[in-house]
Amino acid sequence: MIVPVVLAGGAGTRLWPLSRELYPKQFLPLVGEMTMLQETLNRVGQLAGCGRPIVVCTEAHRFMVAEQLRAIGVEADIIIEPVGHDTAPAIAAAAHQAMAGGDDPLLLVLPSDHLVTRVDIFAVAVTAAVPLALAGCLVTFGIVPTRPETGYGYIQPGPPLTPGTPPLDPAQCPGNGTAAYAVTRFVEKPALAAAQAYLEQGYLWNSGMFLFRASELLDQLAHFEPEMAARIDESYEKRVMDLDFIRLEAESFAAAPGRSFDYAVMERTPKAAVVPLACGWSDVGSWNALWEIGSPDAQGNIFQGQVLARETRNCYAQGTGRLLALLGVEDLVVVETADAVLVARRDRVQEVRELVGSLKEQGRDEAMLHRRVFRPWGFYECVDTAERFQVKRIVVNPGASLSLQRHYHRAEHWVVVKGTAEVTTGSEVRLLGENESTFIPVGVSHRLRNPGQIPLEIIEVQSGSYLGEDDIERLEDLYGR
């Protein structure tokens, strides 16, 4: 049996301002109607012999993961990482979970935010990799390059491992997923001249996708990273169930060295193998990547949302609300959200993460949050804010409830605009209908619940000396926050 392991802990900073740290790209529908996470789970659902998936995510994203899985009818084990520690600890924890029932399955490790357009070829490659993984190999899937790319790591294939496969011809690298080779070496992201040489020599892009037996992975990790292996084993042993989530013990997990799986194991093991793959793959790692995988018009432009353009060529423009007007420009990326606009040259978009770093240094919310912030009960959206007041639109899902809470620095006025609200204020519980309102004084415990069958929508006006989200004391919470 194959257990899919989906790594969903990334921050996606290079796709800012659409992707934010608390709502990164794996939870966005970037290339279709489903989100990247949903696309990944749908892809493995089409593979024969796959069992219940394991999804590894952060504390902040756990409810988004659960909701997106529920929306597509997928049941999975969801593991919460106490801290972001790169991919090796996350994969090790997933291996322990896969073996918890006494089995020793193969693990198909996949990033949650990659695109694969040829799922049929991907399926062939996984099938071809199974005998190698059963024989003790740690298999990675190397993407046949289409250009000299400086944003990816590379893999140098060695001797063939599948019977009847000729030595790799750099000019005609097989990408149908049926051949496998030993790995000669892994190479970090190269300069352009080196990338061009790798392209000519038959190197492959490092996709970050793997297949191996769970026990083999843990054995190799214990050999090369004994401290990490011991700490993750301890963290998993001390795990607790939190609602439907598997919460790893924080202290042990944090004590483990944080390293990528490539560095911790794949670059050091003699058991590494690679299956070349040409499956329409992209890591969707930048705005330029979205331009490359899209369908440009006759002028080379890709537009989403309301975009008006004249004498504009080879641009990517996406608007989420307002009209974008482009005149006489070339090779630009323009992305508009409710609270931020990005304008960048297409050949500089890899540097967007540096902009996000500057926003964090300045303490700006735009690095972390959208104006619309998702919660396990629904979402809220900031409509207006100024000194001593803030206006929010709050939408509560049917049957959902906010925590019983109180604030020490702000009062709140609630106006119901749609649905029915059950409002708890102190010891009083009452129902409010549309166009009815209530007032929550400073320091009074309160709760908002939607007892109805349709989304509840309210307008909240906050007033006080401090309006930060950390001015919340939760007294009771259905979601364990």
Domain range spanning residue 270? 2-282
CA dist 400 and 376 (Å) reads 8
Residues 268 and 342 occupy one common structural domain: no
Q: DSSP readout, 268-290?
A: T-TTEEEEEE-S-EE---SHHHH
154 within a domain of the structure (yes/no) = yes
Q: Strands 181-187 and 154-160, how do they pair?
A: antiparallel
Higher pLDDT, 165 or 345: 345
Of 131, 139, 130, 112, the closest CA to residue 43 belongs to 112
Average pLDDT of span 420-434 = 96
The predicted pLDDT at position 365 comes to 87
180 within a domain of the structure (yes/no) = yes
**pLDDT of 95 above 80:** yes
Residues 254 and 399 occupy one common structural domain: no
221 within a domain of the structure (yes/no) = yes
Omega cis (within 30) before 53: no
Helices (H) and strands (E) counted in the chain, each on its own, are 11, 30
CA dist 432 and 459 (Å) reads 13
CA dist 287 and 15 (Å) reads 6
Residues 260 and 396 occupy one common structural domain: no
The predicted pLDDT at position 265 comes to 97
CATH number of 385's domain? 2.60.120.10
CA dist 382 and 375 (Å) reads 14
201 within a domain of the structure (yes/no) = yes
Band (167; pLDDT cuts 50, 70, 90): low
The total domain count for the chain is 3
Helix (H, G, I), strand (E, B) or coil at 147: coil
pLDDT digits (tens, 9 = 90+) for 24-80: 999 999 988 999 999 999 999 989 889 999 999 999 899 999 999 999 999 999 999
**pLDDT of 254 above 80:** yes
Q: DSSP readout, 59-120?
A: GGGHHHHHHHHHHTT---EEEEESS---HHHHHHHHHHHHTTTS---EEEEEETT-EES-HH
What percentage of the chain reaches a pLDDT higher than 70?
98
Q: Strands 410-418 and 378-386, how do they pair?
A: unpaired
**pLDDT of 458 above 60:** yes
364 within a domain of the structure (yes/no) = no
Residues 50 and 133 occupy one common structural domain: yes
Residues 414 and 327 occupy one common structural domain: no
Of 375, 390, 421, 426, the closest CA to residue 405 belongs to 426
The predicted pLDDT at position 11 comes to 81
The predicted pLDDT at position 342 comes to 97
Residues 184 and 275 occupy one common structural domain: yes
Residues 253 and 348 occupy one common structural domain: no
Band (406; pLDDT cuts 50, 70, 90): very high
Work out the mean pLDDT of the chain and round it to a whole number.
Answer: 93
Band (175; pLDDT cuts 50, 70, 90): confident
CATH number of 30's domain? 3.90.550.10
Residues 91 and 40 occupy one common structural domain: yes
Residues 140 and 216 occupy one common structural domain: yes
- The pair phi, psi for residue 309, each rounded to 5°, is -135, 140
Average pLDDT of span 344-350 = 93
CA 200 to chain CA centroid, nearest Å: 33
360 within a domain of the structure (yes/no) = no
CA dist 254 and 59 (Å) reads 14
Residues 111 and 233 occupy one common structural domain: yes
Q: What angle do CA 124, 126, 131 make, to 5 degrees?
A: 105
The predicted pLDDT at position 480 comes to 79
Amino acid occupying residue 438? T
Amino acid occupying residue 224? F
Average pLDDT of span 408-437 = 96
CB 139 within 8 A of CB 305: no
The residue from 297, 323, 353 where one domain ends is: 353
The residue from 264, 282, 300 where one domain ends is: 282
The predicted pLDDT at position 479 comes to 85
3-state helix, strand, coil in the chain (%, to 5): 25, 35, 40
Q: DSSP readout, 200-260?
A: HTT-EEEEEEEEEEHHHHHHHHHHH-HHHHHHHHHHHHT-EEETTEEE--HHHHHHS----
Residues 382 and 325 occupy one common structural domain: no
| Two structure tokens written together for 354 | 């540096």
pLDDT digits (tens, 9 = 90+) for 177-230: 888 999 999 999 999 999 999 999 999 999 999 999 999 999 999 999 999 999
Average pLDDT of span 383-404 = 94
Band (92; pLDDT cuts 50, 70, 90): very high
366 within a domain of the structure (yes/no) = no
367 within a domain of the structure (yes/no) = no
**pLDDT of 166 above 90:** no
Residues 343 and 384 occupy one common structural domain: no
The predicted pLDDT at position 379 comes to 93
